[in-house]
């Protein structure tokens, strides 16, 4: 409902048909949101996409709610200056802590990964038992639990997995250390006999095979990157804001620190070469 209102407000601001050519802004605490950028690029190759990775402040997962709201608002202001038509909070922790604040303060639509991920999990579970894994911030916010409880009577079990983010950033995504840690983190969820597991963090899609083994072969793994991409597409289509250009859209990448490292590590998350990254100081 809030999103609809947001969109109506945004629509009244539309002055010409060229509004649909505006870029989509995607942000994250660092590299992780590139999994969302990659899914968006695949699904909407004609859209112009702008990505902001807040590499000066990563990780968000262990920061306070106030800090994450402040960082997210600064990024939204930067994306607005770049004339975006939609903002996607690709970061689960930012979606958990800052989405409502952003939706209140910005007059274009802002969507996050929690609600679409929750909806996909509810669609997937047969026995109404869902596990959520994420950063300490995402799990302690209970955002996924609340989003699922709004639409289903499913039992929901959360598990913070703080070691996964550094493991993925070190490139240890499919080795013995990752498997061992995953077994330990997922043991309580296995005991609850869940049939669906939400990968509630941007980095976890890179651990998919390890997580599938640790959770059990039959467990549905839910990737919020895919879910939020579908939601973004529906919102844009319903509001005639999908880019109707036949040309391939542009890709722009910005970070708050260390653009060279972003280029190197980011390629893994984006599943493609990142040619140019610009450093922006948001204060």
Cβ 91 to ligand DGL, closest distance in Å?
A: 4
Residue 37 touching ligand DGL (CB under 6 A): no
Name the token pair of 176: 């013995």
The number of angstroms, rounded, from the C-alpha of 195 to the middle of its chain's C-alpha atoms is 22
29 makes contact with ligand DGL (CB under 6 A): yes
Region near ligand DGL per CB under 6 A, out of 4-12, 59-67, 184-192, 243-251: 59-67
Which residues touch 203 (CB under 8 Å, ≥6 apart)? 32, 35, 164, 165, 168, 169
- How near is the Cβ of 214 to ligand DGL at its closest, in Å? 19
Q: DSSP E strands: which ranges in 73-115? A: 86-89, 110-112
Kindly state whether residue 85 participates in binding ligand DGL, applying the rule CB under 6 A.
no
User: Binding marks (x or -) toward ligand DGL, 160..179, rule CB under 6 A?
Assistant: -----x--------------
Residue showing the smallest CB distance to ligand DGL in the complex: 61
CB 253 within 8 A of CB 138: no
Minimum distance of ligand DGL from residue 53's CB (angstroms): 9
Concerning whether 91 is annotated as a catalytic residue, the answer is: yes
Residue 161 among the catalytic residues: no
Please identify which residue in the block is written with the tokens 């990024």: 75
3-state secondary structure of 52: strand
> In terms of C-beta density within 10 A (0-12 exposed, 13-18 middle, 19 or more buried), how is residue 231 classed?
buried
Q: What is the DSSP string of 145-208?
A: HHHHHHH---EEEEEE-TTHHHHHHTT-SSSHHHHHHHHHHHHHHHHTT-SEEEEESTTGGGGH
**Binding of ligand DGL by 93 (CB under 6 A):** yes
Could you say whether residue 99 binds ligand DGL (CB under 6 A)?
no
Decide if residue 60 touches ligand DGL (CB under 6 A).
Answer: yes
**Burial class for 140, CB neighbours closer than 10 Å (0-12, 13-18, 19+):** middle
Contact status: 61 vs ligand DGL (CB under 6 A): yes
**Nearest residue (CB) to ligand DGL, 19 versus 100:** 100
**Nearer residue to ligand DGL within complex by CB, 21 or 268:** 268
Of 24, 86, 91, 228, which is the active-site residue? Answer: 91
Report, in Å, the least distance between residue 9 CB and ligand DGL. 28
109 lies in the site for ligand DGL, by CB under 6 A: no
Distance of CA 136 to the CA centre of its chain: 16
Q: How many chain residues bind ligand DGL (CB under 6 A)?
A: 17
Phi-psi region at 207: left, alpha or beta (left = phi > 0; alpha = psi -120 to 50): alpha
What residues make contact with ligand DGL under the rule CB under 6 A? Answer: 28-30, 32, 58-61, 91-93, 135, 138, 165, 201-203
Catalytic residues, by residue number, are: 91, 201
């Amino acid at each position: 409902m809030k999103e609809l209102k947001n969109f109506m407000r945004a629509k009244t601001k539309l002055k010409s048909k060229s509004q649909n050519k505006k870029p989509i802004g995607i942000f994250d605490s660092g590299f992780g949101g590139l999994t969302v950028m990659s899914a968006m690029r695949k699904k909407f190759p004609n859209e112009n996409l702008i990505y902001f990775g807040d590499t000066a402040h990563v990780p968000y997962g262990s920061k306070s709610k106030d800090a994450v709201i402040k960082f997210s608002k600064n990024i939204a202001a930067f994306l607005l200056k770049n004339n975006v038509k939609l903002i996607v909070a690709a970061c689960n922790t930012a979606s958990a802590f800052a989405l409502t604040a952003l939706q209140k303060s910005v007059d274009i639509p802002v969507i996050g990964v929690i609600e679409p991920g929750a909806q996909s999990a509810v669609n997937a579970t047969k026995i109404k038992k869902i596990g959520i894994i994420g950063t300490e911030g995402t799990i302690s916010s209970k955002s996924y639990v609340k989003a699922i409880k709004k639409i289903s009577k499913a039992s929901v079990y959360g598990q913070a997995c703080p070691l996964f983010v550094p493991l993925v950033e070190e490139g240890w995504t499919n080795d013995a250390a990752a498997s061992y840690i995953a077994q330990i983190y997922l043991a309580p969820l296995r005991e609850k006999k869940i049939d669906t597991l939400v990968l509630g963090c941007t980095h976890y899609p890179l651990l998919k095979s390890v997580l599938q083994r640790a959770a059990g072969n039959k467990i549905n793994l839910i990737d919020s990157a895919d879910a939020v991409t579908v939601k973004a597409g529906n919102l844009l289509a319903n509001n005639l804001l999908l880019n109707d250009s036949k040309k391939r859209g542009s890709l722009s990448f910005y970070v708050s620190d260390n653009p060279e490292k972003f280029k190197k590590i980011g390629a893994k998350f984006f599943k493609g070469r990142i040619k140019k990254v610009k450093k922006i100081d948001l204060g």
